[in-house]
Amino acid sequence: MKVMDIARVMEELAPARLAEDGDKIGLQVGDPAAEVRTLTLTLSPSAAALAHAIKHRAQMVISHHPLIFRPLAGLTNSTPTERIVSGLVRAGISLFAAHTNYDSAPGGVNDVLAGLLGIRNVQPLMQAATRLRKVVVFVPNDYLEKVSAAICNAGAGRLGAYRDCTFRSEGVGTFTPLEGARPFIGKRGKTERVAEVRLESIVPEECVDGVVCAIRRAHPYEEPAFDVFALETPRGEHGLGRWGELAKPVPLRRFASTVRRKLGAPGVRYVGDGDRSIRKVAVCGGAGGDFYMHALRHGCDLFVTGDVKYHVFIEAQQLGLAVIDAGHGHTELPGVRALQPRLAGLLPGVRVLLGEAEDKMIRTA
């Protein structure tokens, strides 16, 4: 398989439209046409992750955290990021990042975290607003299937667990080629009437440019007629974080121990009465401390996340919300690990390896 093939599979698992604004996801280093026989998964694109990929002769790394957050001013090996980029290029290894889109995606970081902690009937903690467009193109009958396949392969027509979703209606197109035109159908100066099909499909905002390019390549007309409409869409069923209920109430102190054990963390920090009964729980993998108000709005007893600031602990406790900080990496690593068997089943002929856990890089004395 090629890098671009694996990128398409990742788009199915963690659609780019679910990423938070400004997040740097997708292919960051490498050639889309490069072949991949071995890929490694990692939480962060660290020097250790690069060394692991080189050791196992991988051609691609899929990382949860992006490597390049801000444009590089140069590539002089003067910073850790520059050295890793240079190392990837020298080794011929591509780097792909699936960050907040994988946090929000079904079966992603937060679904895995919630399932591991025994939370049932989960719902998004913060529902994501979808950013969709509708693309409409008018196609002569003989080229309908070619253009339809082209736009769907470019990212159009994906709705939930379905792909290749289009709507087609027949009509008549009219045009008069002028001087200088090179019409596919008809003659200059003569008005033509052609049986055409109105082909329309939903497109994620970030795929619009690619779909328009696909139309121009596949359409037989010199100047294909198409429209792009912005859609007012409700907030979807996906988003950051999850909340739900435990099978039965559990004392906070005991549940804190469960979190530490299930996540393999050396310890957890928490606020709240240790004897308090916990039933409704919210989670957010990574640095989710600032989202504690969403847990309160859903009536949760407890919020489990990482990188919680001191003032968040204090404010949450005063508002009656217990908070457990289990660490940034420890709340995300289960989701990265869960991706390994999913990709192994979807990428025939590609060896999918799990990288060395970065949680071992940060030690507790």
Reported as a single tens digit per residue, the pLDDT across 69-106 is 988 888 999 999 999 999 999 999 999 999 999 999 99
Tell which residue, 101, 110, 99, has the closest CA to residue 45: 99
User: What pLDDT does 357 receive?
Assistant: 59
275 near 252, Cβ under 8 Å? yes
Query: Which pLDDT score, from 0 to 100, does residue 360 have?
Result: 55
Instruction: Please write the tens of the pLDDT for every residue from 154-170.
Output: 999 987 678 899 999 99
Integer Cα distance of 300 and 127 in angstroms: 16
Architecture of domain 109-126+238-326: 3-Layer(aba) Sandwich (3.40)
- Say which amino acid occupies 178: L
Query: 3-101+332-360: which CATH number, 3.30.70.3040, 2.60.40.10, 3.40.50.300, 3.40.1390.30?
Result: 3.40.1390.30
Reported confidence tier of residue 206, pLDDT bands at 50, 70, 90: confident
- Domain segments of the chain as ranges: 3-101+332-360, 109-126+238-326, 131-233
Higher pLDDT, 235 or 126: 126
Span 99-145, pLDDT tens digits: 999 999 999 999 999 999 999 999 999 976 667 899 999 999 999 99
CATH class of segment(s) 131-233:
alpha beta
Q: What is the pTM of this model?
A: 0.76
| Identical fold, 3-101+332-360 and 131-233 | no
